[in-house]
Amino acid sequence: MLNNGSSKEQCLRLEKVIETFPEIKEIVGKFNEVGIKWAIAAGTAAYIYCGGDESSLDDVDIWIASESKEKAAEVLDQEWQSQSSERHKAENIQLGNFDIFTNCRKYQGDKLLLDYQWTDLVEEQLREATIDGINYKIVAPEDVILLKTPNPREKDKEDIRKLENMGLDNNYLQKRKIECRNHFW
């Protein structure tokens, strides 16, 4: 069972992610072993919280705290690559079906909308579950909304609506908006 009052369905969806992408066991097991700050995020976290079409599970999004960036690259034996689109700029490691990211910033044109920061508050709100002896971490639903709201794609809009119907911690969301120098709400 995920902590923080999550449902059995959410645990089953996390198990589906693990079943679909079994390499996650080795990756996050290593992260846990060496103390990397990480969490399942973005579309994968939205799927865990809200469900949806399982065929949409085409990758696993893992967010790495900036302070763990170098250690993660070392553990994965990969280098961070700068990536950008019309919506965001981030540093990524693409490892098969895993999109591992850090230092994500959302833009509209040249205007910074969001500087997605990992803070102690994020750490306190992580949802966790231990499955087969491995501890999995998922960002809070509010952090998924925070990441997806600026300059959203069509599928992000549906995820946002579903997450909003979960009943959010608006106090936490407001604090995170400030931490991330939010410029769009």
185 residues of the chain, pLDDT tens digit each: 466 656 889 999 999 999 999 999 999 999 999 999 999 999 999 999 998 888 878 999 999 999 999 999 999 999 999 998 878 899 999 999 999 999 999 988 888 888 999 999 999 999 999 999 999 999 999 999 999 888 788 888 988 999 998 889 999 999 999 888 766 65
How many other CB atoms sit within 10 Å of the CB of residue 148? Answer: 23
Has residue 1 been placed in a domain?
no
How many structural domains compose the chain?
1
Q: Cα angle at 145 between 141 and 151, to 5 degrees?
A: 165
Is residue 3 included in any domain, yes or no?
no
Q: Does residue 2 lie in a domain region?
A: no
Residue 35 is predicted with a pLDDT of 98
The CATH code of the domain that includes 174 is 3.30.460.40
Contact 14, 128 (CB under 8 A): no
pTM score: 0.93
Residue 183, pLDDT score: 62
Of 81, 94, 102, 9, nearest to 51 by C-alpha is 9
Report the pLDDT value the prediction gives residue 25, as an integer from 0 to 100: 98
Using only C-alpha atoms, the chain has a radius of gyration, in whole angstroms, of: 15
* Domain membership of residue 93 as a residue range: 8-179
- Do the domain assignments include residue 132? yes
Phi-psi region of 32 (alpha: psi -120 to 50; beta: other; left: phi over 0): alpha
- 184 within domain boundaries: no
Looking at residue 5, its pLDDT comes to: 57
